[in-house]
Amino acid sequence: KRIVILISGRGSNMEAIVRACAAEGWPAQIAAVISNKPDAAGLNFAAAHGIATAVVDHKAFRQPGMDAQQAREAFDAELQRVIDGFAPDLVVLAGFMRILTPAFTAHYAERMLNIHPSLLPAFTGLHTHARALEMGCKFVGATVHFVTAELDHGAIVAQAVAPVLPGDDEDTLSARVLKLEHRMYPQAVRWFVEGQLRLVDGRVEQLSGAS
């Protein structure tokens, strides 16, 4: 199976997936790492590991006379063209900070995963940990889900939970959750490439034999 990973920055989840794929001998290869930001730190890690990299800079798609929606559609069309050049079976969003158009999400239906730092369906969108603290949540977490047109929706593949401890702030919480993300996301991607995930009535069923 061929995997293309999309990032926008640090890329620590991408790194965890690259390492697990190699260390655990998945029936898969990371075909490319693509960023919408030319300076995304994760691109260096990917290149250093011999993985093809590409940049599709969303800022280049804002032409005079275009409205925001047209620019978004032009960006997504180019991104799709670049991704499909690597012929992926699976597209993995790992800290990819762009809202995607329905045409793009439909093109990768049932073969695109995302990780979101909350226990969905709670706290879609940004600043999840700050909002959880403000609400007095006792537990937070992260969710791996299939990507659909609606932001941070789509069938849930895996979730991990962390406690909120006295004195926590956004940084301590996100660090605690990120550690869980680095275990959970590679595991979920592995399930996909091993053919263990099935969508039934919009929910994920995991076939037996899952590790």
Question: In terms of CB distance, is 88 or 117 closer to ligand GRF?
Answer: 117
CA distances from 75 to 66, 111, 153 (A): 12, 20, 22
Q: Flag whether 99 is marked binding.
A: yes
Q: Which of 49, 107, 116, 129 is catalytic?
A: 116
Question: Does 141 interact with ligand GRF (rule: CB under 6 A)?
Answer: no
Q: Which two tokens stand for residue 189?
A: 């991607």
Strand partners, 163: 139
Question: Does 118 interact with ligand GRF (rule: CB under 6 A)?
Answer: no
Amino acid at 28: A
Q: In the set 3, 6, 12, 76, which binds ligand GRF (CB under 6 A)?
A: 12
Torsions phi, psi for 122 (to 5 deg): -75, 145
Question: Does 199 interact with ligand GRF (rule: CB under 6 A)?
Answer: no
Q: Flag whether 13 is marked binding.
A: yes
Question: Does 130 interact with ligand GRF (rule: CB under 6 A)?
Answer: no
Torsions phi, psi for 90 (to 5 deg): -145, 135
- Max Cα-Cα span within the chain: 54
Q: In the set 30, 115, 147, 173, which binds ligand GRF (CB under 6 A)?
A: 115
Q: How many CA atoms lie within 13 A of 119 on its CB side?
A: 11
Question: Does 9 interact with ligand GRF (rule: CB under 6 A)?
Answer: yes
Query: Residues in the site for ligand GRF, rule: CB under 6 A?
Result: 7, 9-13, 94-95, 115-117, 142, 178, 181
